[in-house]
Amino acid sequence: MKNLSAWSLDEKIGQLLMVGFNGTHLSSEIIELISEKKIGSVILFSRNIRSEGQIKSLTSEIQNIAQDSCHYHPILIATDQENGVVSRLQHLTPLPGNMALGAVNDLNITRKVSLATANALRQVGINMNLAPVLDVNNNPSNPVIGTRSFGENSNHVAKHGIAFLKGHQAEKVYVSAKHFPGHGNTSTDSHIELPVVSNSLEELKQIELRPFMEVIKNNVDSIMVNHVHYSSLDDSVTPASLSKNIVYRLLRNELGFEGVILTDCLEMNAISESVGVGGGAVKALQAGADMIMVSHTYEAQLEAISSIKQAVQKGTITIEQINRSVNRIFRLKSKYSDIKTTIKINNEELSRLSYSKAISVVHHSGILPIKENEKISVIWVSDNSYTKAEDNQVKQLSVKAFIKNDIFCEHVVENTTPVKELEQVTNEAIKSEYILLLFNANAVSDSIQSMVNIFLQKNRKLIVFALRSPYILSDFSSQVTKLAVYDFNQNAIQAALNIVAGKTKPTGVTPVTIK
């Protein structure tokens, strides 16, 4: 490899970007970015992934183009395989997300799930996972983290975060812990607007920062910085990703992190609608970031490249700083240079075991188990509260495919279903002694609550499954049996049904407070 001093400025800038693209085949734009702009990192979303064979072919083509274009290291090919609600590889056996693992509270299982996840990524040519989420979800109103967090206790999150890190390290897949310095105590989504956190530095060190401090001690590869404003750390209304006080002084200097600092995507509204992608790219590097994510549009990616180059030429970003960042990225890329072919793991048994241990009975009204031959009505309740971090396929999943044991959702409603339709559902469901409400929603509307009240007035035995946020269980009275399921895939729901039928005993403990 030629000496870094012999590299062109364009080649160096290319290494500082992580870019995305649309489609399941390489576009002419992404080919140009890799071959001509020397882009060193690519991020894949569910929009890029259809099957195991297809993704293997895609990642192989990416690396071949890089090699043919004289890249000096393989491309970092990243994705967000957090498991649970953020699972880009939908063809894989579903594995529990962080809050389900937090409910199991077995570090060995967390490490095994991580190992299996990393193994599956490595099998298809993905060498970096933008995980684990280390946010401490201590705000029940948080619209974007929720079940992506291990829980509300910082030590609990830290322990499971380290276990997740060790699983990926064993499989030699890079990680990027996120979202520094913590996105758990926010009530707005940075994809949409700029959240603000007012905690003092000491408070942050006790809670939000603790998991990051622990994974730094355990040699985490990369840390992703979020787009949240921390008013006690930066007087100006500046997102963390663009704040020198947070990126350079806190993360790099005070906490001593020596790895790669990556920004969250600069096309998120908190950045794109304020300083813009180009301005954000420059400010992020000035703040001390090493790698800039621009994950959606070609025009924004070119804008970021151009803005960085102009800033270097003007002297507002020094070439020495560019060199330091490139060197960190190269150290990361060299870390796992000798990788042997891995043995594929069968995840089905691990998935079933994990979910069987995760399901938490938050309140038992004395009606379980359901005896055989009891008449049961099942109602699936959904809403449109999916966040931009989640996958589009999540919205399209078939309800009936989830339920086994000859129990099907006769009724599928939404929080916004008209009252007349809900009345019909209520009149039909009330014919059964037992009613299962499967909530694939993050809120309970007044009309759904009215339906619930009618069931209770008629002395029906009501069981609620919280398939997403367990916080919604606090909206139901003590007459209702409440189960936190955490995920809404077939294995998670089957595990909950087994508990309802008395086939297994519940052992999961909710890692957040349900009032």
- Token pair for 70: 């004289």
List the alpha helices (DSSP H) in 69-152: 98-104, 107-123
Single out the residue of 390, 514, 460, 429 nearest to residue 84, CA to CA: 390
Classify residue 291 by its DSSP letter.
Answer: B
- Token pair for 67: 């090699």
Note the Cα 340 to chain centre separation in Å.
28
Single out the residue of 488, 482, 490 nearest to residue 508, CA to CA: 482
Classify residue 470 by its DSSP letter.
Answer: G
Catalytic positions, written as ranges: 191, 264
d(Cα 347, Cα 135) in Å, to the nearest integer? 26
Single out the residue of 84, 107, 87, 222 nearest to residue 161, CA to CA: 107
d(Cα 150, Cα 235) in Å, to the nearest integer? 31
Count CB atoms within 10 A of the CB of residue 256: 10
Type and span of the H or E element at 31: helix 28-35
Q: Is 64 left (phi over 0), alpha (psi -120 to 50) or beta?
A: alpha
Quick one: CA dihedral 487, 210, 175, 279, positive or negative? positive
d(Cα 55, Cα 123) in Å, to the nearest integer? 10
Quick one: CA dihedral 105, 383, 48, 282, positive or negative? negative
Q: Are strands 41-44 and 76-79 parallel, antiparallel or unpaired?
A: parallel
d(Cα 278, Cα 504) in Å, to the nearest integer? 55
| Helices and strands (DSSP H and E) totals, the chain | 17, 18
Distances, alpha carbon 79 to alpha carbons 29, 89, 113, 285, 401, in Å: 19, 9, 17, 22, 26
3-class state of residue 80 by DSSP: coil
Tell the residue number behind the tokens 């607007």, with chain if given.
193
Count CB atoms within 10 A of the CB of residue 503: 12
Single out the residue of 184, 257, 260, 276 nearest to residue 226, CA to CA: 184
d(Cα 475, Cα 482) in Å, to the nearest integer? 10
